Amino acid sequence: MQSTNPKESIVRRDIDFDLETIDMRRWHPRGLHVSQYFNALSIFFPEGEKFFIDSVRHYRDRVEDPALLEDIRGFIGQEAMHGREHRVYNATLANAGFDVPLLEGRAIALLEFARSKLKPIHRLAATIALEHFTAILADVVLRDERVLDGVDPKMAALWRWHALEETEHKAVAYDVYHTVMRGSLRGYLLRCAVMLTTSIRFMSQTARTHYHLIKQDGRQGDWRGWLTLMNTLWGRPGVLRKIALPWLAYFRPGFHPWEHDNRALLKRWEAQYPVSTELKQAA
């Protein structure tokens, strides 16, 4: 399968985010519970990005199309940068007094279990499921400024940078999967089944990690905080509510991530994260 990336290239932006002065408990103006929800997501990213890279790299020798090979190169570069910056993010969270090693250990154990028990094609299917999940979340983050309205500028920049690049490479792993499975019925059934199981596991693990972070602050009984979080996720702006239909679209035969063409949205944010000529050459 040829690359279906409508962008000219997928490039690695080597950006450092200085988070040392950030209040990791309440960097979001909606309070502790919302801040910690984003923090819970970050816990999974360093090892998750490595899992994605390994899953795609395993099948790179099956790809003959030069454009898709170049996209794979960009995908690996971007995911590596995400892993690096979220390691810094998580270290900052640990320095704030949270039990990050324990929570990261759970993520590592889950992914090591997947590596040891799942076949490579199942790991790639899990990767394309989670890549779709992160891409539709990223679209909401970039499209609705209320999600990060009033957030510390450094944290807003980090999350929008991550969302921008997740959108840019949202179809790379999918195209590799399609190349391997050749659009077969088995490939379709596998990706649908894995999306269901992966979504349940991802949401439940995120909720478990989030609750642990809240409990460490002794705020598990703060019903106002929980209501604010529920409103953020399901009311206004409704981050999870807004991804429901895009999530369901994944189950349609013939689905492709770029059928939702949001290049115009990318152009809106790309100027804030420029890529130098030197970096393009090095990526």
pLDDT score of 6: 72
In a domain? residue 16: no
pLDDT score of 240: 97
pLDDT score of 253: 95
**What φ, ψ does residue 162 adopt, rounded to 5°?**
-60, -45
Q: Is 276 exposed, middle or buried (0-12, 13-18, 19+ CB in 10 A)?
A: exposed
pLDDT score of 80: 95
> CATH no. for residue 137?
1.20.1260
Distance (Å, whole) CA 205 – CA 106: 9
- What are 12-44's pLDDT values in tens digits? 888 888 898 999 999 999 999 999 999 999 999
pLDDT score of 274: 64
In a domain? residue 243: yes
pLDDT score of 283: 33
In a domain? residue 10: no
Handedness of CA 120, 71, 4, 245 (dihedral sign): positive
pLDDT score of 1: 63
**What domain range is 79 assigned to?**
32-282
- What are 239-267's pLDDT values in tens digits? 999 999 999 999 999 999 999 999 988 88
177 neighbors 124 (Cβ within 8 angstroms): yes
In a domain? residue 220: yes
Alpha carbon of residue 155 to chain centroid: 16
Tell me which DSSP letter residue 221 carries: T
DSSP letter string over 49-81?
HHHHHHHHHTTGGG---HHHHHHHHHHHHHHHH
Q: How many domains does the chain have?
A: 1
In a domain? residue 21: no
Which residues in the chain land under pLDDT 50?
276-283
In a domain? residue 27: no
In a domain? residue 9: no
In a domain? residue 46: yes
